[in-house]
């Protein structure tokens, strides 16, 4: 199944500083705030998430962005042949759902995220699972 939604998420060790910066830059407040953990701006055609990384190996660095692809069936995605040639992280399960990450050939981080029903509802993203849309499942 192809990804159902795109989300650009940026990990940070200092969420408050990033929130202040992006509020000023975008001249808007986040649409979603999970205090001290996650916030999300909703712009036309883009969901931009900022989160405090819990990964002990994470270090902020120049160009450290994550492309988060939300999928409805993570297990189906994990058997794609393209993922056989990259190192995929161990599966993580949190309140927001299940996820793994890996890097593209240029080293950009990609997260495959299967949202939990509770997270989907909290983010007010409509029907769960979403109805089929042309090209998206």
Beta-bridge partner residues of 57: none
Average pLDDT over residues 108-136: 70
- Domain boundaries defined on the chain: 5-122
Under a CB-based contact definition with an 8 Å cutoff, are residues 8 and 47 in contact? yes
In this prediction the pTM is: 0.59
Under a CB-based contact definition with an 8 Å cutoff, are residues 94 and 51 in contact? no
pLDDT at 106 over 80: no
Helices (H), the chain: 15-26, 74-78, 117-122
Banded pLDDT at 135 (limits 50, 70, 90)? very low
Would you state the pLDDT for residue 45?
75
Pick the CATH number of 5-122 from 3.40.190.10, 3.40.718.10, 3.30.43.10, 3.10.180.10: 3.10.180.10
């Amino acid at each position: 199944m192809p990804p159902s939604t795109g989300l650009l998420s940026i990990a940070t060790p200092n969420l408050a500083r990033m929130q202040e910066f992006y509020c000023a830059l975008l001249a808007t407040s986040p649409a979603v705030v999970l205090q001290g953990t996650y916030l999300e701006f909703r712009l036309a055609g883009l969901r931009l998430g900022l989160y405090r990384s819990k990964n002990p190996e994470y270090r902020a660095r120049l160009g450290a962005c994550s492309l988060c692809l939300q999928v409805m069936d993570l297990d189906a995605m994990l058997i794609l042949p393209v993922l056989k040639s990259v190192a995929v992280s161990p599966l993580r399960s949190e309140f927001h759902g299940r996820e793994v990450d890996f890097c593209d050939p240029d080293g950009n981080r990609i997260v495959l995220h299967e949202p939990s029903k509770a997270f989907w509802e909290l983010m007010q993203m409509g029907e769960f699972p979403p109805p089929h849309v042309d090209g998206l499942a």
